[in-house]
Every structure is written in C-alpha cells, then in structure tokens.
Structure 1
Amino acid sequence: GDYQSVRPNLLPGGIKEIISRVTSEGKIPGIHFDGFRGDENSEIYKAHPEYFLHDLDGKLIVEVNNKGDKVMRYIYFDYSHPGARAHIADCIKNMKDNWGIRYFKVDFMRYGLKNDTLAKNKKAKGIKAFDPTITSVERFRLAMKTMREAMEPDTYFLGCSAVFGPCIGFVDGMRTGGDIHPRYGAFPERSLANLGNFYLNGKVWNGDADYLVYREAADEDATVSQEDVKHGGSLTLNEAHMWADFNKLYGTARLSSDNLMTLRPDRQALVKEVFQYPAMDETVPLDLWQHGKNKGDGFDLVLARKGEEIYLGVFNWGDKPKEYALQAFGKAQPVKLDGRHSVILKYDGKDSFAQLCAKMKSN
C-alpha cells in the first residue's frame, strides 16, 4: 500500500536509477504491484485506517499469510472512499510522472470484489464499506476508473488475477490463466485456461499467458522464491519446449521469469526463441469441444496467424506417443509426437485462416 516509496537498499540511486538504465537501452520501464490490498503494518493504514474494508462489526478485515521469508497481514482497500481513490491515483501519478513508469501491471485484482475477499476471510460475515449504497462491483469499477485515469492513455495497463467482466474497457492486456510454475502439470492446465478465453484475445484486450518458465532445480540458485511450487523445478527440456511453443502462439505479453544468469544455455535459447517469434494476431483452439474434461486436459491443436502467415501448434500433453492426421493442413502423412512433446508447423497452402479453421474443425 505504501507505493510512494521504495525500500532503502534498492541500489544506489533507487528506482530512478533503475529506470534510467532501462530507458537508456531503448526499453520501456514497467512496474508490478498489488492494487487492491495493503498491509496492516503500512504507513497508509496507520495514517488512514478508514481507507480499508471492515467487517460488519467494524473490525478491520485482515488476512495473515506466511510467505516463508516474511509474514503478510493483508488488508483491503475500500475504493468507495474518495480518500482511498485519491491515494492510489497519487501513487500511480508519482510512478508515471516522477519515476518514468510506462507499463503498469496491477495484480490480485480479484480482491477488489466481495466474494474473493470473504473467501480469504471466512470469519468475516460481511463487508462494511465507506459507501454502503454501492455493490462491490461498482466499488471495483470506481477503482479501475481511477487507476486508468491516473495512468493516462499513453501507458499500458495489464490486469492480473481478475474477474474479467468488470475490467472490460479499462485494461489493455489481461492475464487469462492461472499462475505458472516450473512443474509440468501446470502447462496443460494453463493451456486450457488461456485458450478457453481465446475469443477475448486481440478483441477485448491482449491476452497474457503468464511468464516464460523453463527451469529445473539445476537452474536455480539461493535467490529463487521459496513459495510452494516455485522452487525445485522439475521440467525436462522437452516439457519446457512445450511452454515455449504455447507462448509463441498465444498472447502478446512475453515476460521471462527465470534467472537468465543461472539458466542453462539450452533453456536460455528457448527464451530467445519466444521473444524472436512474431506476436500472433489471432489464435484458435481447433479441438475446443473435445477437451476440458478435467483441468489437465489441454488442447492439442492450436491454429494462429500473423497477418497472412498461418501456424499450427500440435501439443501432445499426454505421456504416450500420439499420431495426428493433418491432411487439411497439407500434411499427407500423420504427424507423430512422443508424449510431452510439441511442434509448430507453418502453413504453405492457399486457404485463408478462416477457411483453414473451418476445414480442420470439420475433420
């Protein structure tokens, strides 16, 4: 919640020095923060407890969360209060005008809504907001309007961990699946979640599949996060390659999460591959109605295009070898893939993207 300042040990020169380095290389500086929660130990709470949500008995709603290296005491901004809106607007304007931020990733947005707040705080029977005449969705929309106006139109607004509907019209990009982590089981699940929202990507906002994650335990050092499933990576190279192929075909946000200094060369090469691949204009799961029987049942066939160039991603998420009959794509012989392998094929036929979609879906 104290987003006007940064920790004192943040390099000589602080955040302005970091941003100066970023811009000197021709890159755009961005920042990632929790826009809907603060901490009970924050200065903003001490000065203005009225800016945060309370329960029906008037007690502050607090979620205690042990992160391993620290204990958070999460509290929830009440954006029905004009002072809370003014605070977050001032924070964002300072980030933009004084620090030079041009890319804002606002995370944990679902905690701006009643259901998710109460789900984390089961002892609270209800929420008492400053303005009790509006719903939590209206309160959330007030926050989004405030943030967007403070950022101004010349910046990029990426939403994350959100209920989609109330965000429409405010964000430029949106995380459309759950958190990724260096375990193979996350990949087919995230394929299903992200591609299940394919119809929003490129139309309502730019889709973000989450970070590029390719590490195995051998690629980690002592600085890796100690949160559950974020350390002790177990990805084989072919499994990592599947997530690389998925990110080549879906979304426009490509963010590397691994420590590139400790990542082995063959996995560093995957990061480079994805960043050099063109961002697709359109992506469609061709086998939409054949999958999703459980959360690990990801889509096998993914068609994407960049302009008139068309690509087909073939993903065998299972453990056994599989054959794919792709005559409609111009492949006379079946494409064979071992378990947990993928391939991207470029189309050299004459059909348009729409025609190819229709042909391959009918087959």
Structure 2
Amino acid sequence: MIQITQVPVDPVRGRVYEHGWQSWSPSAAYPVTATGERPRQDPRLQTMCWRPDRPAPGQGFQGEGLLAVEPGDGSPARLFAARDGLLEVPSVRARLHRDRLVIEADGPVDEIPHPGGIEAALARWADLFTERAGVRPPRPAPTVWCTWYHYFGEVTEADIAENLAAIADRGLPVEVVQIDDGWQAGIGDWLDDRIDLPAMVSRIRADGRRAGVWIAPFLVAAGSDLARAHPEWLGGDAGHNWNRPLHALDTTHPGARDHLRRVFARLRDLGVDYYKLDFLYAGALPGLSAYRDAIALIRETVGPEAYLLGCGAPILPSAGLFDAMRVGPDIGLTVAPPDGDLSRPSQHAATMTTVARAWQHGRLWVNDPDCLIVRPAVEDREAWARTVERYGGLRASSDRILDLDDWGLETTRRLLAAPPPPTPFKSPPAGRQRP
C-alpha cells in the first residue's frame, strides 16, 4: 500500500464510504471512528462474497475501487476512485490517526473533491465513469416471477405450471418467468436437465410470457460430469456450496470457451431471452480481462436483445456488460443474517448494501435489490416491500403465488405494475443503515 494523502476530519461528524468488491460484498457509509464490515466465521466467504486474496485490515476501511470521505467539518467530500476501474481496481484503505484519515491504495487512484456529500460525489463520479467506459443508457427491465425463494433447488415442472396458472388467474403483470437453480443436472452440467427444460420454456412462451433461466456459468462443482470429463478446463478454488467444493471454469482455455458457446446457444435456441448469470466472482479469478471477455462471449452468443442480469459479480469491472445488476446480498426470510455476516442472505444485509449503491441505478445499469418476497412467513415483510419499492429498479416476485394473503397479493401486484424508469433515482439517499 502507498500512502496518498491525509484528510482532516471531524471525529464526530465525519463519514467514510466503503464500496465492496462484488454484488454480495457489503457497501455502506460509516462514522470515521468505526471499522467496515468483515467476513465472519467461515474463511471461504473471503473468496465467495468478498474480494479474494485481498482481506481488509482489522481496523479502518477498505473500498474496492471506490472510497469516499465526508470530513464533517464543512469541507468538500473527497472521492478516491480507480483510475481505470474495468481491468485494474485498486483496494483503497483509510485509517483514522487522531483527527486525520490516512488514505492508502495498492494501485493508481484519482482524488476527486466534491462540494456535496458522499452520495452526490458518487453520483457525479458514476456519470463520468460510465461515459469513459462507454456504458450505454440502461434498457427498461421486464417484470419477473422467479422460482427460487419458495422452491429453491427442488423446483418441478408442476410447480412452474401451478404458478403460471396463478399468475394468469390473479392478473399479475409478470413479463418473464425465470426458472432458477434446480433445472440443471448439476453445477457445471448445464447441457443436461433435471427437469424438462424445453417443455417448460415452450409452456411459458405459449402463455404469452418470456422465458428466463438462472445459470452460474463459471462454476464447476467437484464430482460433476464436466469436472470428470475436462479437468484441464478447471481453474482455481471457487469456494464451497451445494455441499461440495467448487472450481472456477478457466475461460481462457479454448475448450472451455467453446463449451460456454454451446451452453448458451442451446438456451437461446430453446427460446430463453432473459438470463440471470450468478456466482460471477468465479469468472474473475483468472483475471479481469478474462472475465470481461467471457461475459462478452455470452452476450455475443445470446444476442443483443437478450436481457442479462448479473449477480455475485465484481461491480466496477462489470460496467457496460449487463442490463441489470444485483447490488446487494440475497434476501432471506429473516431480518438478520444467521451468523452476523452482512454478505449473507437476510433482509438487513440486502437493504444496507442496496441503499448504499442506489447511485448506480440508471447509470451503470438497472439496480436489482433481489426478489420481492411478502408471504406471511417472511419476517418484517412490510419493511422489505418498502425497500424494493424505493430502490428496486428490477422488480421480481419469488413467492408461491397461492401462499400470498390479501396484503401480499396486492403488494406484489402494485410493485410489479409500476417499476421505476431506468434513470437515476431523484434523491440519492444516505449510504448507511447500521445494524
């Protein structure tokens, strides 16, 4: 780390904004006397939810490509931003020493003063970044119903058919039906189906709706058919999920690239035109150039009209590649994450980081706060509905429709009927909701 500067701050009123590496990495503004969020308990989360190989220090803050300071003494905010941001994303650190923040970075950053606060500084920087990166204005997002948050990996054809009928019967304004995790034979085995995917896509389209799928294109589970058949396509350790170790697909290997083309050409030819690309951190493990090339390959294969939603993706290096982006951790049935780690599924974690990244909506892409779930089993469902209504650019329901009570059904209908335009939110909110 190289020291860049020292910023005088008011220890009582000063704030620091710490931007996380990927979709699930916590982002927030903190008092200058605090320490940013860190992984808890499971060390594998450093790879899966934070920035691999760049753990933050025990005290202070570490922003990935972005760190902002609001001194609190009336002087302008100071933004420390990656000079590149797409292929080179320095970690920027801040630590309090008496009445000054010592700012350090491990790569080239620009120091940008802004007369407004943190949120205004981030919005202005995003306008300049998108122009420099050649990001096109985002397209409107379709409204979605997703299988995940009720059926998880056990979705069946009968489940999809039941909800298609319920959506039509209740007049819900759903444009896309997205089949989430569970349709495939295994993680990495995307050319083989556990359910009859061609029949389900055909059924969805026959109902007058668009068909979407979830896929984690850069993950290969240990023991999968692909891992056994092509060990030469496997990259580094990508963590642990689905009760097994995960490998990253080495997208620099010509055979792996051809495999990606076959997978997405098949989905395209089935009639899928909405793709949730998940666990994308794995695609960046071989390097950011390889990551951007691999997403470009997918886009080329599915075509320019297909809608791409990224998730678990390195944020700044994804600019210009996606129509929409998950900007926080997964939602959960509970307010607090079970282990206290704010990269993990929960209402509080999803809300905190979604609010802190509100400035990205309509600039980098359409912001996805994660799905609306409002069945009675969801703790404090009213609060989560308010978050989705205020910060949800992409609106997706993920309840079993028949489980919704009157309030849940009416809330789902209302939020799906009126998604915001793909333009910046009018009043960027404060970037911190503290646990």
Could you tell me how far 1:141 is from its partner in structure 2? 1.7
What does residue 193 of structure 1 align with? 353
Alignment of 1:307-318 (within 5 A): none
Deviations 1:269-322 (A, max 9, x none): 22112112242443255552xx6263x3xxxxxxxxxxxxxxxxxxxxxxxxxx
Could you tell me how far 1:111 is from its partner in structure 2? 2.0
Q: Which one of the candidate residues 91, 110, 131 is aligned to 2:263? A: 91
**Alpha carbons 1:38, 1:77 under 8 Å: kept:** yes
**Alpha carbons 1:53, 1:75 under 8 Å: kept:** yes
What does residue 3 of structure 1 align with? 190
**Alpha carbons 2:358, 2:429 under 8 Å: kept:** no
Q: Which one of the candidate residues 168, 188, 193 is aligned to 2:319? A: 168
Q: Which is further off, 272-281 or 36-45? A: 272-281
- Call closer, same or farther: CA 1:73–1:187 in 2, change over 3 Å: closer
Structure 1 unaligned segments of length 5 or more: list them. 55-60, 115-134, 218-232, 297-363
Equivalent-residue separation in structure 2 for 1:255 and 1:150 (angstroms) = 25
What does residue 308 of structure 2 align with? 157
Equivalent-residue separation in structure 2 for 1:250 and 1:64 (angstroms) = 31
What does residue 389 of structure 2 align with? 248
Deviations 1:90-124 (A, max 9, x none): 10011001x1100011001112233xxxxxxxxxx
Letter in 2 for 1:38: V
- Call closer, same or farther: CA 1:73–1:293 in 2, change over 3 Å: closer
Equivalent-residue separation in structure 2 for 1:30 and 1:148 (angstroms) = 15
- Residue 26 of structure 1 pairs with residue 208 of structure 2: yes
What does residue 113 of structure 1 align with? 284
- Residue 76 of structure 1 pairs with residue 248 of structure 2: yes
SS at match of 1:35: coil
**Alpha carbons 1:76, 1:111 under 8 Å: kept:** yes
What does residue 282 of structure 1 align with? 424
What does residue 6 of structure 2 align with? none
Equivalent-residue separation in structure 1 for 2:234 and 2:248 (angstroms) = 5
Normalising by structure 1, report the TM-score. Answer: 0.61
Aligned length: 238
- Call closer, same or farther: CA 1:212–1:149 in 2, change over 3 Å: same
SS at match of 2:192: coil
Equivalent-residue separation in structure 1 for 2:363 and 2:277 (angstroms) = 20
Alignment of 1:258-337 (within 5 A): 258-280=399-421, 281-288=423-430, 292=432, 294=434, 296=435
Equivalent-residue separation in structure 2 for 1:167 and 1:261 (angstroms) = 37
The structure whose Rg is larger is 1
**Alpha carbons 1:241, 1:270 under 8 Å: kept:** no
**Alpha carbons 1:104, 1:155 under 8 Å: kept:** yes
Equivalent-residue separation in structure 2 for 1:287 and 1:48 (angstroms) = 48
Could you tell me how far 1:87 is from its partner in structure 2? 0.5
Could you tell me how far 1:187 is from its partner in structure 2? 3.5
Equivalent-residue separation in structure 1 for 2:393 and 2:289 (angstroms) = 29
What does residue 197 of structure 2 align with? 15
Letter in 2 for 1:22: I
- Call closer, same or farther: CA 1:46–1:198 in 2, change over 3 Å: same
Could you tell me how far 1:160 is from its partner in structure 2? 0.4
More strand by share: 2
What does residue 342 of structure 1 align with? none
Could you tell me how far 1:51 is from its partner in structure 2? 0.6
- Call closer, same or farther: CA 1:30–1:248 in 2, change over 3 Å: same
SS at match of 1:247: helix
Q: Percent identity?
A: 26
Could you tell me how far 1:184 is from its partner in structure 2? 2.7
Letter in 2 for 1:204: L
Letter in 1 for 2:360: L
**Alpha carbons 2:360, 2:367 under 8 Å: kept:** yes
Equivalent-residue separation in structure 1 for 2:247 and 2:366 (angstroms) = 30
Equivalent-residue separation in structure 1 for 2:362 and 2:429 (angstroms) = 20
SS at match of 2:314: coil
What does residue 137 of structure 1 align with? 288
Letter in 2 for 1:177: G
Equivalent-residue separation in structure 2 for 1:182 and 1:188 (angstroms) = 11
Q: Which one of the candidate residues 205, 222, 231 is aligned to 2:365? A: 205
Equivalent-residue separation in structure 2 for 1:3 and 1:152 (angstroms) = 19
Could you tell me how far 1:188 is from its partner in structure 2? 4.5
**Alpha carbons 2:368, 2:394 under 8 Å: kept:** yes
What does residue 233 of structure 2 align with? 51
Could you tell me how far 1:252 is from its partner in structure 2? 2.8
What does residue 257 of structure 1 align with? 398
- Call closer, same or farther: CA 1:275–1:62 in 2, change over 3 Å: closer
SS at match of 1:203: coil
SS at match of 2:308: strand
Structure 2 unaligned segments of length 5 or more: list them. 1-187, 337-345
Letter in 1 for 2:218: F
SS at match of 1:199: helix
Letter in 2 for 1:80: T
SS at match of 1:4: strand
- Call closer, same or farther: CA 1:100–1:293 in 2, change over 3 Å: closer
SS at match of 2:189: coil
